[in-house]
Amino acid sequence: MSKNKKNITSKSQTKSKSSSKFVFWTVGIIAAFVLGFIFFGNNTKSEEEAKPKESIDYSNQPFLGNESAPVSIIEFVDYKCPNCMEFAKNTVPTIQKELVDTGKAKFYVMNDSFINVDSIRSAKFAESVYQELGNDMFWEFHDLLFEKQPEDPKDEKVDVFTEDFLADTLKEIASDKEVDMVVKNFRDKKSEDAWDTDMAYAEKLGVTGTPTMIVNGKMFTGQTLEDLKDMVEEAALVVKKSE
C-alpha cells in the first residue's frame, strides 16, 4: 500500500464501527527549492488509534522498487477514495523518487475496500489483473483507475466501476486476449483470496482509513515526507542491526 492538519475531504461511507473522522496527513513544503508536497487528509473509519507490529507476508503483493530494499512501505487504498486518488497523483511519485528509486524502500499497495460495492469490485478486478498480467500491468491499471475516479465520489454512487467499465478501462492498456483472461479470472473469483488477505491485514494493523501507510509493520503517523524519510531510515537501521 500523508499532509496539513486540516481535513481535505471526509470519507464517503464508514464501516459500522465508525463513529467519527480524523486526519493525520498534513501539507509539507519539501526540498531547498519551492517543491510543494501534499499529504492529503485520509478517509477514515473511526478515531481509534493503533500502533501494532505485525508479521506481514509480502509475497504475491504488487510493489514498486527493488525486492532487496531493506524497508517495506504499504499503502492501503480504496479505489473510490478521493484522497487515495490525490495521493496516487501527487505523493506516490515523490515517494518513488525519494525512497524507492534510491533503493531505500519498496512500495506496496493493499486493499482496504470500505466505501461501497464499487470499491470491492474494482479491488478484486485489479487483483485479477495482477494475477493474470503481472506487476507492471497492475500498476498501469491501478493508476488508470484513479484517473477515472468519478469527479464527485463522495456522493457514494455505486455501479460506476462495473465489470464492463473495468474491462473497458483495461482495454486501454491491454489486448483483447489479455482482457478476456482477466475477466475470466475475476468471474471465477480467483482474486477473492488475495482481497481477503489484504482486508485481514487492514484489520490486524489497525487501519482506520485510506490512504494509510505502514512501514515495516508499523503505522506511519507523521505529517510530512521528511517524517516518512526519518521512519524509513530508522526502520533500515533496525534491519541492519538484526542482520
Q: Which helix (H) or strand (E) holds 29?
A: strand 27-30
Is-contact 98 63, C-beta < 8 A? Answer: no
Comparing CA positions, the residue from 225, 232, 235 lying closest to residue 94 is 225
Bond from prior residue into 153 cis (ω within 30 degrees of 0):
no
Q: Decide if 229 is inside a domain.
A: yes
228 assigned to some structural domain: yes
What's residue 173's pLDDT?
98
Q: Which amino acid is at 134?
A: G
Q: What CATH number corresponds to the domain at position 191?
A: 3.40.30.10
Q: Is 242 exposed, middle or buried (0-12, 13-18, 19+ CB in 10 A)?
A: exposed
- Domains contained in the chain, number: 1
Among residues 102, 233, 140, 220, the alpha carbon closest in space to that of 148 is found at 140
Host domain of residue 76: 27-242
* Average pLDDT, consecutive stretches of 10 residues, N- to C-terminus, the chain (243 residues): 34 37 34 36 47 75 96 97 95 96 97 95 98 98 94 66 97 98 98 98 95 96 94 95 84
At residue 190, what is the residue type?
A: K
Site of grid cell 460495492: 117
Q: Is residue 3 part of a domain?
A: no
pLDDT at 26: 34
Residue 6 lies in a domain: no
What would you report as the CA-atom Rg of the chain, rounded to the nearest whole angstrom? 17
Contact 167, 128 (CB under 8 A): no
> What pLDDT score was predicted for residue 43?
57
pLDDT at 243: 78
Side-chain half-sphere exposure of 215, counting CA atoms within 13 A:
24
Query: Does residue 4 lie in a domain region?
Result: no
Report pLDDT for 151. Answer: 75
Spatial separation of the C-alpha atoms in residues 242 and 52, rounded to whole Å: 19
Could you tell me if residue 158 is inside a domain? Answer: yes
